[in-house]
Structure 1
Amino acid sequence: MCGRFFIAQAPEVFAAFYGYPERPNFPPRYNVAPTQPVPVVIAQGGERQFRLVRWGFWPGWLKDPKTFPLVINARVETILEKPTFRGAVRHRRCVFLADGFYEWRRAGTGRTATRTPFAIARADGAPMALAGLWESWLGADGSEIDTAAIVTTGANGTMAAVHDRMPAILAPDEVGPWLDAGGVPPGEAAGLCRPCPDAWLRLDPVSDRVNAVRNDDADLIVPLDRPRPTVVADAPAAEHPRSSDEDAQGALF
């Protein structure tokens, strides 16, 4: 599963890495949460494009979003069959712009249970290409909202120490085939969404300040065993957004 992620590098790094012509000037974000606008790269007419979408997938056939659960993750094992994602995996695949994501390792049960947050990034410092699906939802009043979900797969050996699932992280040479919905059929594209090699990832325990959505600063991704910048004050406590895989795995927060 993936319920929070971060975008730390400069916009020009992502533009060069993914090869889209737009030059958006977006700020770093260290605690991206569900329902917020998030940057993705898509391909239309053979050209890559930068786009902002809502993180929380609404299928095109949806009548009333208020009746639909918050869907931020899509299990690769079921995206070819689930009505929610069947159209998107055929025609509207995207890549989330990210440098890494957070996951919580749970230990114990009941009141004695503990949840330790980890920041997971690429060991080589490159952008982390998270496979995604997007959809344009049209309201009865003519409004149009682009929405998206991150594709998830089973955990690799490194991630298994924290959680049993992880985002599907694409290799640089897999980004093109994943985005090429016109040339690469859904089954072949889904085959790209597998656990990445263990050596790709670095896992660092981080401050539990990441638990509060309103905290959004570079201190959040600093490992606990490294010197930390001074933070003036934590943001007020906020209700944590709920998130789940499309198959209703349960809330992360």
Structure 2
Amino acid sequence: MCGRYATTRSEADLSDLFDAVDVTEGLGPSWNVAPTDPVPVIRVSASHDDKRVLDTVRWGLVPPWAKDLRGGAKMINARAETVATSRAFAPSFARRRCLVPADGWFEWVRTGKERQAFYLTPADGSVLAFAGIWSVWESLKTCSVLTTAARGGLERVHDRMPLILPPDRWAEWLTGDPVEELLHPMTDRELAAIDMRPVGPAVGNVRNNGPHLIEPPSTPAVEATLF
């Protein structure tokens, strides 16, 4: 699953990386994005001549038919295996797909009575693009991140991971037909470029933020059971 992630690039950098027009609302960097937070996404906008825009949405998709926003916190992820048939997610998969830029994401592994946090991020520092879908509830735009089965050693921290799209798949994801091929996971070679490293416990508190959250812990992490 993906329940916490980091996205710290500026609007200008994201606009350049994704060739998008910036229509965000002054979002700042976050090293600890949590459910219901406002997040940047790249989507295609009819009001901008079907060009890409960098927009701000609420993380946790709320279907148009929902009575209120409360269910959004439980709908931060959509399973790639069922997104095309789910009542809540299928309409967005068919017509409203987006890219969710990230630096990396966090997972936790229980070691005895303790939980060790891990940060998963490209070893070369490149941007990640999570496959996302978005919707509108009243006037509020919301989104979910698609997940798929973890592979390539990443299943050591969780059996699910974000569906990550390399740059050559961005255009098809945003504008292609809603077919099964869109949901292909990363290749083994692409997965090998993901670095998995232990970080300190501070990221577990959503009130904490800052670059220190992705730094190694002050005490040695328990890794023997993983590696």
Fold shared by both chains (TM-score > 0.5): yes
Specify the SS of the correspondent of 2:192: helix
Deviations 1:70-106 (A, max 9, x none): 2100000010111011100000001112111111112
SS of 1:12 mapped into structure 2? helix
1:49 aligns with 53
Counterpart of 1:176 in structure 2 is: 171
Question: Considering only aligned residues, what root-mean-square deviation do their CA atoms show, in Å?
Answer: 2.1
Unaligned runs of 5+ in 1: 139-143, 227-253
How is 1:9-48 mapped onto 2 (pairs within 5 angstroms)? 9-22=9-22, 26-45=27-46, 46-48=50-52
In the alignment, which residue of structure 2 is the partner of 1:189? 182
Cα offset for 1:211?
0.7
Q: Structure 1 residue 11: deviation in Å?
A: 2.9
TM-score normalised according to structure 1 size: 0.78
Equivalent residue in structure 2 for 1:157, among 152, 159, 165: 152
Range that drifts further, 112-121 or 161-170: 112-121
Compared CA separation, residues 173 and 105, structure 1 to 2 (3 A): same
Does the aligned pair in 2 maintain the 1:123–1:200 contact within 8 Å?
Answer: yes
* Partner residue, 1:221: 214
Q: Relative to 1, partners in 2 of residues 1:198 and 1:68: Cα closer, same or farther, differing over 3 Å?
A: closer
Aligned CA distance change for structure 1 residues 63 and 128 (closer, same or farther; 3 Å): same
Unaligned runs of 5+ in 2: 220-227
TM-score (norm 2): 0.87
Question: Mean Cα displacement is larger for which, 199-208 or 112-121?
Answer: 112-121
CA distance in 1, matches of 2:72, 2:117: 28
Q: How do residues 64-79 of structure 1 correspond to structure 2 at under 5 angstroms?
A: 64-66=68-70, 70-79=74-83
1:133 aligns with 2:137: no
Contact 2:5 2:104 in 1 (8 A): yes
3-state SS of paired residue (2:180)? helix
Tell me whether 1:212 sits opposite 2:205 in the alignment: yes
What does the per-residue CA deviation read over 1:134-168, in whole Å, with 9 as the maximum and x for residues that have no partner? 00112xxxxx1111010000001231121111001
Hey, what does 1:237 align to over in structure 2?
none
Alignment of 1:229-244 (within 5 A): none
Mapped partners of 1:65, 1:126: distance in 2: 33
Q: Closer, same or farther in 2 for the Cα pair 1:101/1:224, shift >3 Å?
A: same
Match of 1:241 in 2: none
Match of 2:224 in 1: none
Shift of 1:17: 1.1
SS in 2 for 1:173: helix
1:22-69 CA distances to partner (integer Å, 9 max, x unpaired)?
Answer: 275532211111011111000134310111111111112223334676
Q: Percent sequence identity over matched residues?
A: 37
1:102 aligns with 2:106: yes
Find the aligned partners of 1:160 and 1:67 in 2 and give their Cα distance: 28
Name the structure 2 match of 1:247: none
Matched-pair contact (CA < 8 Å) for 2:36–2:73:
no
Report the alpha carbon displacement of residue 198 of structure 1 after superposing the two structures with TM. Answer: 2.4
The separation in 1 between residues aligned to 2:72 and 2:37, in whole angstroms, is: 17
Give 1:33's aligned amino acid: A
Question: In the alignment, which residue of structure 2 is the partner of 1:63?
Answer: 67
Q: 2: CA distance between counterparts of 1:157 and 1:106? A: 20
CA distance in structure 2 between the aligned counterparts of 1:214 and 1:8, rounded to whole angstroms: 16
Higher strand share: 2
